[in-house]
Copies of this chain bind each other. A is one copy, B any other.
Amino acid sequence: MELKISQRMAAMQPSAIREIFKNMADPSIVPFAGGNPSPDAFPVKQLENIARIVFENKAVTALQYSVTEGYPQLREAAKQFANSREPGLSHAGDGIIITTGAQQAIDLAAKCLTDEGDTILCEDPSFIGALNAFRICRANLAGVPVEADGISIQGLEKAIKANPRAKMLYIIPNFQNPTGVTLSMEKRRAVYDLCLQNGIAILEDNPYGDLRFSGSHVPAIKTLDTEGIVCYCGTFSKIISPGLRVGYAIGPEALLNKMVVAKQCNDVHTTVLSQIICCQFLQSCNMAGHLAALQKLYRGKCDLMVQGLRQHLPRAEFVTPEGGFFLWCVLPKGIDLMAFVRAAGEAKVAVVPGTTFLPDPSVPCTAVRLNFSAPGNQQIVTGIERLGKVLDAFLR
């Protein structure tokens, strides 16, 4: 007998990136396809010390079941940290929930805000992990074009007009995945106003916000939220460790309370050992210094990639990221994208085709997403040189 897979899952395919990632054990392949932090970014010694102290002082707490909302001291520390980075982020009536990475926060928020057949507005392109979570919730995706300064406001107006009952906008305002662009302050206000006027909740995902390495801070949309329509997702994956799987959501209590119920039935609570480690890191580490070191590390990597692209792929177009992990490299029109990605693979450079990130992957696209956080500096130089040769062969 063949088990029948549900309709909600029947069409879902593994993420192309994670499939590519599986084959990345080969060290001769330049890893532009993933989204890993640099292994040099992990505060290994500090985490090792903290883990030792946790086992000495709080072993039973770390090993026992805990409450779904999250380890109380971490909830407090994460809230303080988030508000120190984004002054005015938490409002009266807001709660915080610790999640198993920001991915779970996105999944829980979508479950709590949408039903089967509801429409979710999103950037086009956007983070594949979120789009797929929405698809499993059986939401319809309505993509809105992304410009050099973030989502198109005209496009958003149009999408709302076409989907007057849209329930939620999913948006990554800082160093967006996959485009690397940042939403301007003017547009943040316009996005907020439009959503408020139309009764649309905003799911603001800010995994890279602490990794700005040029330009000036632009406040989170959540800081504008006097009306309680924004759920803000943060994570320690990019600034402490993704393997620990600790993220959080800050938003209106009524929504957060439902997210807690959904989390109870999803994984009961996030690994307590991870939560205590993150908590003690936030409490004991000089976070300003730690973040400055990460920003410097990633600025260097991004600069190398930008220089390489200008030299070796002069006909590629891109917006220079002011932070984060990704650069969206638009190849000349007419390029066969999948053939290019395959040729890059043969030249030992792993890149993700831009189609992966489209709400409608059948739309033509000639972009690849390039990750500069994971590869070493020499790999970035070599990888871009190789990509240049691959592109030249296509344009010849």
Contact = CB atoms under 8 A, between A and B. Distances in A.
Contacts of A136: 111, 262, 265
Interface in A118-159: 118, 129, 132-133, 135-136, 138
Given A63-B42, A133-B265, A265-B133, A5 B113 contact: yes
A274 interface: yes
Interface stretch (A13-21, A291-299, A348-356, A380-388): A13-21
Contacts of A167: 4, 6
A111 B8 CA distance: 8
A245 interface: yes
From A3, A18, A101, residue with most partner B Cβ within 10 Å: A3
Interface string A55-94: 1100111111111100000000000000000000000000
Interface string A89-103: 000000000001101
Contacts of A280: none
Nearest to A132: B265
From A37, A68, A118, A273, residue with most partner B Cβ within 10 Å: A273
A228 interface: yes
A42 B65 contact: no
A112 B52 CA distance: 39
B261 A9 contact: yes
A69 to B, nearest CB: 9
A268 interface: yes
A62 B47 CA distance: 11
Given A3-B254, A262-B136, A21 B63 contact: no
Interface of A: 1-9, 12-15, 18, 21-22, 34-37, 39, 42, 44, 47-48, 51-52, 55-56, 59-68, 100-101, 103-104, 107, 111-116, 118, 129, 132-133, 135-136, 138, 167, 196, 199, 201, 227-229, 237, 241-245, 252, 254-255, 257-258, 260-262, 264-274
